[in-house]
């Protein structure tokens, strides 16, 4: 498998709804910054699931995990208690041993957060880098992602 940079227009972003609960906020009812990381994780997990890729099965059957190697966040506006948010996720690069995602969190179309996330492909037993399996690349790569 070779590295592939994917054009932004390849597919529309995958959208996943998230509601803000008390557990996501600080004492003032504003979303605590670390809660956004959980929202983004849900978006990436459901993006994989859209392609029939279940992380439990990857771990148990193929010895694969996707730990986060790098994450950059740009906070634009706060979310608050009971907000209905949408996490948008799309794949921008597929390398031999990593996936690069762009993500946004929106409220009623207004941008609250932008994120760039690189997930490494590692062996579940040794946490060493490993190549993405071709079937995974084919599911999420140029024709699938």
State the catalytic residues.
26
Buried b / exposed e over 105-134, threshold 16 CB at 10 Å, is bbbeeeebbebebbbbbbeeeeeeebebee
Q: How many CA atoms lie within 13 A of 24 on its CB side?
A: 20
Q: Containing H/E element for 87?
A: strand 84-95
Are 102 and 55 within 8 A, CB to CB?
no
């Amino acid at each position: 498998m070779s590295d592939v940079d994917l054009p932004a227009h390849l597919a529309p972003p995958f959208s996943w709804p998230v509601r803000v609960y008390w557990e996501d906020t600080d004492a003032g009812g504003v979303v605590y910054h670390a809660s956004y990381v959980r929202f983004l994780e849900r978006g990436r997990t459901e993006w994989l699931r859209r392609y029939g890729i279940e992380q439990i099965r990857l771990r148990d059957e193929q010895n694969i995990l996707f730990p986060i190697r790098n994450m950059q966040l740009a906070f634009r506006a706060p979310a608050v208690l009971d907000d209905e948010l949408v996490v948008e996720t799309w794949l921008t690069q597929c390398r031999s041993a990593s996936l690069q995602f762009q993500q946004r969190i929106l409220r009623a179309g207004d941008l609250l957060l932008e994120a760039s996330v690189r997930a490494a492909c590692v062996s579940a037993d040794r946490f060493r880098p490993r190549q993405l399996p071709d079937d995974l690349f084919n599911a999420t790569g140029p024709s699938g992602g």
